[in-house]
């Protein structure tokens, strides 16, 4: 077989469904293979275009197929679903992958490297610890609420919580104090782990050229810079910052028909972590401290005078003006 062959692979943990077809769509083979036989089978094939859904282990198998000399394309699962014929099974999925990939207008996902996946796992591990610590803090606030102590949300309230628990004239029972102390110890342990992972992220962000450039922009720190490097495709795929903003979902959702444009709310259709961090960074630029650095008469000042603050923050993320962090990344070339 030559590069005129396209092989669609429906990935799984143990059983892989393979569908081989010519570029014109003519069926060549269908096979169901175990994990070990799949690797051996692909090694025996002549270089071909291998297409897989961008799901769990897809980036690993993409790297393995590249080592075997194949050309690899990853396709988003939602783009494959419309091409599944009637019954849903592994063979139909593998065939639909090939049919979808043969569309000339189809969009593909860039395979990630080992380093990118490692950075993404580190980022998600820290996010998971932050969520767990937030859960513990809320549980502690709920316990104190049962005894009439009302406290605002936020990790910054731990000092007040400790004072309430340790107060000599407190009305809290001894057992209640013990349980709250145990929750405080768990929060402290999570904080140590979070700080350790934050230190790793800062070190990695300081080593990467693009991450260092991103951190020179207002509102962009090591977390945002590492998220862009770990989750975003190469910046060469985008012509301008607004293209990246559209990829992130920072554009209005369209309901246009009959030549009339109808724009709705922000689509939120892209990578959620980068989008959230960019908006948080933009909001820090618009709060009472960040507003001091906004020059009068600038585009940002004029927008802030007539638009809601959140809308202005999203506009900062997708704009080509005011040294957008997106355009700073796009300006970098290796």
Q: What are the tens digits of pLDDT across the range 29-40?
A: 999 999 999 999
Q: With 60 as the cut, is the pLDDT of residue 79 above it?
A: yes
- Mean pLDDT, range 94-114, rounded to an integer: 93
Distance CA 117, CA 120 (A): 5
- Of 68-72, 161-165, 169-173, 293-297, the poorest mean pLDDT is in 293-297
Task: Tokens 């992130």: give the residue.
Answer: 248
How much is the mean pLDDT over the chain?
Answer: 87
Can you list the positions of beta strands (E) in 143-225? none
Q: What percent of the chain has pLDDT over 90?
A: 52
pLDDT, residue 290, reads 56
- Mean pLDDT, range 141-165, rounded to an integer: 91
User: How sure is the predictor about 330, in pLDDT bands with cuts at 50, 70 and 90?
Assistant: very low
Instruction: Report the SS3 class of residue 27.
Output: strand
Q: Are strands 263-266 and 252-254 parallel, antiparallel or unpaired?
A: antiparallel
Going by C-beta distance under 8 Å and a sequence separation of 6 or more, which residues neighbour residue 205? 211, 212, 215, 222, 223, 225, 226, 229
- Mean pLDDT, range 128-142, rounded to an integer: 95
Going by C-beta distance under 8 Å and a sequence separation of 6 or more, which residues neighbour residue 172? 147, 164, 165, 180
Distance CA 204, CA 116 (A): 11
Is the entire prediction scored with pTM above 0.85? no
Classified by CATH at the fold level, domain 5-101 comes out as Nucleotidyltransferase; domain 5 (3.30.420)
pLDDT tens per residue, range 267-290: 888 888 998 898 888 888 777 655
């Amino acid at each position: 077989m030559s590069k005129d062959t396209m092989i669609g692979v429906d990935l799984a943990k143990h059983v892989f469904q393979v569908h081989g077809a010519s570029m014109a769509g003519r069926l060549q083979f269908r096979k169901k293979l175990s994990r070990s036989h799949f690797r051996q089978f692909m090694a025996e094939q002549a270089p071909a275009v291998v297409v897989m859904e961008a799901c769990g282990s897809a980036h690993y198998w993409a790297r393995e197929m590249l080592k075997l000399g194949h050309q690899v394309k990853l396709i988003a699962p939602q783009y494959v679903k419309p091409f599944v014929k009637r019954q849903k099974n592994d063979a139909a999925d593998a065939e639909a992958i090939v049919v979808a990939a043969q569309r000339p207008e189809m969009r593909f996902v860039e395979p990630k490297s080992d380093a990118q996946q490692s950075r993404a796992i580190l980022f998600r591990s820290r996010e998971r610890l932050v969520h767990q610590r937030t859960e513990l803090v809320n549980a502690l606030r709920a316990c104190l609420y049962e005894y009439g102590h009302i406290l605002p949300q936020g990790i910054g309230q731990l000092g007040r919580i400790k004072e309430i628990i340790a107060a000599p004239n407190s009305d809290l029972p001894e057992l209640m104090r013990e349980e709250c102390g145990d929750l405080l110890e768990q929060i402290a342990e999570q904080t140590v782990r979070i700080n350790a992972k934050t230190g790793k992220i800062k070190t990695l962000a300081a080593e990467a050229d693009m991450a260092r450039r991103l951190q020179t922009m207002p509102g962009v720190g090591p977390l945002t810079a590492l998220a862009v490097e770990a989750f975003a495709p190469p910046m060469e795929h985008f012509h301008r910052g607004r293209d990246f903003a559209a990829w992130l979902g920072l554009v209005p959702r369209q309901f246009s028909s009959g030549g009339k444009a109808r724009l709705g709310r922000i689509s939120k259709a892209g990578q959620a972590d980068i989008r959230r961090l960019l908006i948080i960074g933009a909001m820090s630029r618009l709060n009472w401290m960040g507003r001091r650095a906004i020059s009068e008469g600038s585009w940002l000042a004029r927008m802030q005078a007539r638009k809601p603050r959140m809308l202005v923050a999203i506009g900062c993320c997708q704009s080509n003006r005011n040294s957008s962090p997106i355009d700073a990344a796009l300006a970098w070339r290796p």
